[in-house]
Structure 1
Amino acid sequence: MSAPRSRRRRQEDHEEHENHERWLVTYADMLTLLMVLFIVMFAMSQVDQTKYEALRDSLSVGFGAESNVLQGSKSILDDNDAAVEPDLVTGSLIDSLDTPPGNPVTSDAETERQRQLAAARAEASNLKAVEVKLLGALKAKGLQDDVRTIIDERGLVVSLVSRHVVFQPDIASLSARGQQVVDTLAPVLADIPNALRLDGHTNQEPVRPRLYATDWDLSAARAVTVLRRLNELHGIPQSRLSASAFGHTEPLIDPSLPASQDINKRVDIVVLPGTDAMSSQLIDDVINARSGANQGVEG
């Protein structure tokens, strides 16, 4: 019985060895946390712009807005304030400064506006090229002074204005010189795909035409005269042609000016734009902007 008790006493006298290497566990944990910290910092400095924009757009739609509705703080990633990125710590997004130059984030309305403006610029250039060809053909035959041209939201407007060209009072028949002008314009007009509209006008005299019931009838007859010549003599398809009558309601120049009657009784050949209605309305703005820029350069 004494032997087991002695053995137990000797076992109780042994002390546990203290683990002096436990600090290594703490040290390893700290190194792991530092490594994770640097990985997160590296990831923050390498933001995928495409994925970020997709995230922003998704959040915008989720909050019921089209675009540019999430505003927040920004994080500066270097001392020179050169890089502006999303604040990934707070989860906020900014729209005002995070888009790289040349890649603006636009709404659907702005995107459509830019498309219309690009189409207007292209069509304005096309109409300008047609204008140059028409005036060149007229100049080759000494007829350049018999028309006036303008490009606006209607398209390219070629007005037959010379008193030698168009019509005698109350008459819808072209003069011999007028026929020559139309015949000179026709080959150029036949080579383009644009639709053509013939607008008939009378002068401002409040006198009932002798051979027509009203100014409307006379102006319509004048438009149809030019339309038929383009179609029947020069083969321009009727699908490209239409006629309109304006009577005396749209004078080209102020009726109080001398010789205004000879100019205001006319037919306008309108080369219609090959663009949609909204883009066509911007053509006038494009032409005016170019004219202003050219005047600035000349000045």
Structure 2
Amino acid sequence: MKRKKHEDHVNHEAWAIPYADLMTLLLAFFVVMYAVSVVNEGKYRVMSESIIEAFNGNNKQIQPVHSNNATPVAPVPAKRSSSTTPPSIAPRLAPPLATRSLQPQMTSGSLVSRETGQENLQRIQDQVEKALQPLIDKSLVVVRRTQSWLEIEIRTDILFPSGVARLSEPADVTLRNIAGILAPFPNPLRVEGYTDDMPINTAVFPSNWELSAARAATVARLFSEHGVDPNRLGIIGWGEYKPAADNVSQEGRNRNRRVLVVVLSDQNVPARFSSDAQHAGQLAESAPAPAPASTPQNEVPVAPSLPPGTLPVSAKLEPLRTTPVADAPHGAG
């Protein structure tokens, strides 16, 4: 008699294993998607700069600055070589620091009287307005003049890409034109950098102070390489603390991202550290001149009445030097 074959027991729980595998894969997928969607802007900028630097084949290193105080100093971009290799993204900090007065150390042949300096201001204004009229019509360049100085305000939209201190190609042409106009005149010059209040924290620029000072130094160095006497030049990085407009709107932030080229009538004009925030960079003549102080070597002087976080960074080209500043109301532009 044929033996009856027993049927195998059906496992009704077998679906749980592939279902658990599916849930695990879905969880991993969504975790990866979330990680990709969260972008760290600072790390993205560092990665972008590293990739650009690698393709340019230019390897520059940042040298740290040691000082008695923790006040940030203005970085100076690496000197552009005569070859066609583009400059490095990261500016190089000059190691030696020394305090000095705000007044430039100028040679006797470069000194200019107040009367001659004021006449030069009018001539410079006429030439700048003629050369940059298309940009002035688009409000990308603003030229203002007082009795003691002339201001050429340039929006950083046409100067620098976002978050870096490397000049764009159109900006190089514009600044060369300005340098050609300024070179024949002996008037002292100040290049001032400003930013909006958007935070930045990268290996190159820990804050907007470093970014604004590096941009001012880049413009000043280009001037010195195209005929402007370096003894006439000085730089100031104001960071985000001298806004020309509010930072609530995109238009206001665009106005705050700017570089000012200030042409002084002579070395004895009042300090340009008090301003009306309604006029970007147009500063009051009644501001008292800063009193030079004797400070030890490598000590960074600080204005006593400035609110916390409002100390501008000031330096002069070759060698880099820090500058004492006068009292300034917070929020002036």
Q: TM-score if structure 1 supplies the norm length?
A: 0.48
Select the structure with the greater relative contact order (CA < 8 A; seq sep ≥ 6). 2
Q: TM-score if structure 2 supplies the norm length?
A: 0.43
Which structure is larger by alpha-carbon Rg, 1 or 2?
Answer: 1
Q: Larger % of helix: which?
A: 1
